[in-house]
Amino acid sequence: MPAYDFKCKTCEHKFSVRISINERDQVKCPECGSPSVQQLFTPFSVSVKGEKNTCDLGCGASTRFG
């Protein structure tokens, strides 16, 4: 199951939950219980064993190292 990041619109608490895609609309804040939450879209990184420049997977040309 994927993990999703959310932020509560009521108390501003940020949290992550592992749920199916069908359950995203049922998420409630674990701090205050409010159903008024917003899904956060956070960047992720990928590391490939043996590759020296993994930035090619998502960085622009101006941010590449090596």
Burial class (CB in 10 A: 0-12, 13-18, 19+), 60: exposed
Q: Is the pLDDT of residue 66 over 70?
A: no
Q: Classify domain 3-63 by CATH architecture.
A: Single Sheet (2.20)
Question: Can you give the residue ranges of every domain in the chain?
Answer: 3-63
Q: How confident is the model at residue 20 (pLDDT cuts 50, 70, 90)?
A: very high
Count Cα atoms within 13 angstroms, Cβ side, for 55.
9
d(CA 34, CA 1): 23
Q: Is the pLDDT of residue 8 over 90?
A: yes
Specify the pLDDT at position 51: 57
d(CA 34, CA 37): 7
Q: Is the pLDDT of residue 44 over 80?
A: no
Specify the pLDDT at position 61: 53
The rounded Cα 23 to chain-centroid distance in angstroms is 16
Specify the pLDDT at position 1: 82
